[in-house]
Chain A
């Protein structure tokens, strides 16, 4: 389109225009002679005029595109400069004997020193903290900025920086990002519009790194048996295996060597009781922040069970197996019985095998305060759906009907209707646990399932485990009053604005003097992947009209403030346009000779 517009004067020049004005003039012979004598000069003049007209159209088109470019002169325009300092965990990696964050901070300091009093400065760190003010304030903020033990959100931070810069309404606008260029730090793009962005990424490749990316206690409640599932990842040379140590309550549970990217399972039956902190650690490397990963587990005695004969022989066999493995003890804590024979809660309740006893069962449920009733009888084989219910069929069941105040989790369904439900201190199975009622008691998963129900659902409420990132907001369980740190100090907790601690580790939720759960703070596994984006890829993530990535600190520092002279060229182009038009008018009216004379 621009080329087409620029061609207009050329076409007009090449194609003769129609001239309507006719003038009687006796001295035409002089005109002819003038044209012949000055043909060469007139031709040059016409070419210059054509060039000027083309230049005028090009300048108009360029001005309409609102370009930004370099202008000469010393110093720089009053500039709104947002310094985005990537202080995510990955920048704590040791490079050339020092943490990378130190290098980024030093470069940031140098940049701030180059600012002048007419500039507005902000330091925006990856964890979202913003400090604005004069040079001294920002330098102080840089000195105090520490590594954030998580990933942060660089795209969101850059968006915030753009908003700050725009709000300043200064002639110069700039965002500079000091980052390690970690690929996982830019999971999505960010659009900064017309604000120029100059990123500094230290040169060199990412160092190799090993990390613990999974440390999970299963289940949360050990009675007292449980497992710790762990996985390590490795990038770069030597990252294919790692030596690990699993600790619980300050005691080593296990040590070993494992391949990267594979899970290892450590089974344990600790003697400790109550909430215990645990960790998985590997040998330290250049990035220390991901060499440990934390978990928490509640340890207790096996639940004691009173087994009623009405539960059936298959349940008796299963409970015997659980007792034999130590996961369950015989006692009085939990009733396992047909609903009509249960005497108290907590209880695992099954439908009576004799339909005649349904009415008695419902009356007993009412007596125990369980807000569910056995309803219509359903016969016919249907598949059950739920956790560990693969292959389980149901031939006989009763519709579970809720009454007032019913509030329970559905553990399994049949034909879209609740079949097994778990409420507060009760679990109801809507079929008798006999082979003619359901295949559940004869399935392979029955014994472990029963063990988990007795230990996890009915064995008592230990509390919840919340896995959070550093500083993440969360809603603590009702009644929580504080957060207990590793050193035993209890920090008050505002339920309306609770945030996870910044430091990685295990923190216990407190309700008065009692631990009622745990908060585990770990870095995001992605943060351990130190592989970097290429300059082009990083430029593509930061979408804007003028984005550049530099790896040389000097060039970057010079570019940031040299870019202060980058400003909209519209006015300059219009001035040039006026000059071109004036020149065109002057030449058109006066000719070349007058120019030569002047």
Chain B
């Protein structure tokens, strides 16, 4: 079996542009999800001054170009002397972290407010793939739980590189149920990891806080580090339609007729308030929480998830 990652010879723009900072929709249009994930992770790692799990005292892993701020103690002087190239030596640590990526694939996720943007689901899938690739590349074990109104897919954590492609195939499985039974998905993730690990939830959180409050606390009580990436379309953060319209919920029969001009500000305030409620809820439980809009380059949420990883031993 050919490693698909090898087909992606170079990231977009000849490597001078970091893929993790590109427009997600544009980037997603350039290749398959696993390739995009690899570009994103490479760009992301390039931007890191210090890799979390690539230390400088264990086993040599690879070289990378010197970047201002790097510790000169790790400069490879021999290469500098021979080839006049400034290179930093990187070392690889062994790890046994187990991570579960919990992805909401309900129907509400399969929506975008503009044809120029990815749907929330597509964005989340790319993000999950990048996360998995990052974890597996660091020798962490990454698993996947997909859910809507039921558990759609469960993939146990593995650290082998081939597992990444299995995970990518799982992302392509069916979705679109009318509802999000997140509690069951989190329960399954908890059982999947067993010892303290990391759980990253990727969802639009169009659900009742009570549905997630208990399971999250349970995860925390089990010693897991939890991160929640709240995926939102920019059109959900601020109404962009004009005039009067009937807005129909994609998951229920709920309808409401409004004049956008009339409720525009009130809606924005309400969303801000909801986000603040989520932030309060999650911070109270010691959960990293971040709102991610689908026009945000993947590097940004990746860094937020990375923060959760950093807190682990």
Contact = CB atoms under 8 A, between A and B. Distances in A.
Given A19-B245, A21-B244, A591-B261, A27 B236 contact: yes
A29 B267 contact: no
A32 interface: yes
Q: Which of A31, A33, A588 has the most CB atoms of chain B within a 10 A radius of its CB? A: A31
Which of B236, B243, B247 has the most A CB atoms < 10 Å from its CB?
B247
B255 A589 contact: no
Contact of A17 (B108, B244, B269): B244
B250 A26 contact: yes
B256 A19 contact: no
A28 B256 contact: yes
Given A32-B254, A593-B265, A26 B206 contact: yes
A26 B246 contact: no
A589 B242 CA distance: 9
A25 B247 contact: yes
Contact of A23 (B206, B247, B266, B270): B247
A184 interface: no
A594 B265 contact: yes
Interface string A422-435: 00000000000000
Interface in A113-147: none
B262 interface: yes
B247 A31 contact: yes
Interface in A17-42: 17, 19, 21-35, 37-38, 41-42
A261 interface: no
B245 A26 contact: no
A275 to B, nearest CB: 96
Contacts of A25: 111, 236, 247-250
Given A29-B249, A41-B266, A594-B265, A23 B241 contact: yes
Quick one: which of A29, A33, A42, A591 has the most chain B CB within 10 A? A29
B247 A589 contact: no
A74 interface: no
A494 to B, nearest CB: 82
A45 interface: yes
A533 B19 CA distance: 96
B265 A31 contact: no
B236 to A, nearest CB: 5
B271 interface: yes
Interface string B231-264: 0000010000101111111111011111101111
B204 interface: yes
Nearest to B254: A28
A590 interface: yes
B48 interface: no
A28 B236 CA distance: 9
Contact of A27 (B206, B244, B255): B206
B108 A26 contact: yes
Nearest to A588: B261
A347 to B, nearest CB: 109
A19 B146 CA distance: 38
B300 interface: no
Contacts of B269: 34, 37-38, 593
B274 interface: yes
A46 interface: yes
B231 to A, nearest CB: 11
Contacts of A589: 261, 264
A591 B266 contact: yes
A30 B249 CA distance: 11
A37 B270 contact: yes
Given A26-B236, A31-B258, A590 B267 contact: no
Contacts of A588: 259, 261-262
Nearest to A39: B266
Nearest to B247: A25
B207 to A, nearest CB: 10
A21 B246 contact: yes
A28 B267 CA distance: 10
Contacts of A593: 265-266, 269
Contact of A37 (B236, B246, B262, B266): B266
B204 A26 contact: yes
Contacts of B257: 19
A45 B262 contact: yes
Contact of B248 (A23, A46, A590): A23
A17 B243 CA distance: 12
Given A29-B249, A591-B264, A24 B111 contact: yes
A450 B271 CA distance: 121
Contact of B270 (A19, A34, A42, A594): A34
Nearest to A592: B265
B206 A46 contact: no
Contacts of B267: 30-31, 34
A46 B255 CA distance: 21
Interface in A565-583: none
A178 to B, nearest CB: 60
Nearest to A32: B256
Contacts of B256: 28, 31-32, 35
A19 B248 CA distance: 13
Contacts of B263: 31, 34-35, 38, 42, 591
Contact of A26 (B241, B251, B264, B274): B251
A38 B247 contact: no
Given A21-B245, A593-B265, A594-B265, A27 B254 contact: no
Contacts of A38: 263, 266, 269
A201 to B, nearest CB: 58
A556 to B, nearest CB: 53
A19 B206 CA distance: 26
Contact of A21 (B204, B206, B236, B243): B243
A191 B134 CA distance: 94
Nearest to B249: A28
Among A19, A21, A30, max chain B CB count under 10 A is at A30
B246 A19 contact: yes
A589 B262 CA distance: 7
Given A25-B248, A26-B249, A30-B271, A590 B204 contact: no
The residue in A22, A26, A31 that gathers the most chain B C-beta atoms within 10 A of its C-beta is: A26
A42 B246 contact: no
A31 B259 CA distance: 11
A207 to B, nearest CB: 72
Nearest to B204: A26
Nearest to B242: A589
B275 to A, nearest CB: 10
Given A24-B111, A25-B248, A30 B262 contact: no
A33 B74 CA distance: 56
A28 B261 contact: no
Task: Sort A-B residue pairs by CB-CB distance and give the 3 closest, nearest first.
Answer: A26-B108, A38-B266, A34-B270
13 contacts: A25-B111, A25-B247, A25-B249, A26-B204, A26-B251, A30-B267, A31-B258, A31-B267, A32-B254, A38-B269, A591-B263, A593-B266, A594-B265
Given A19-B245, A23-B247, A35-B266, 9 more contacts: A19-B246, A24-B248, A25-B250, A26-B250, A28-B249, A29-B206, A42-B266, A589-B261, A590-B265
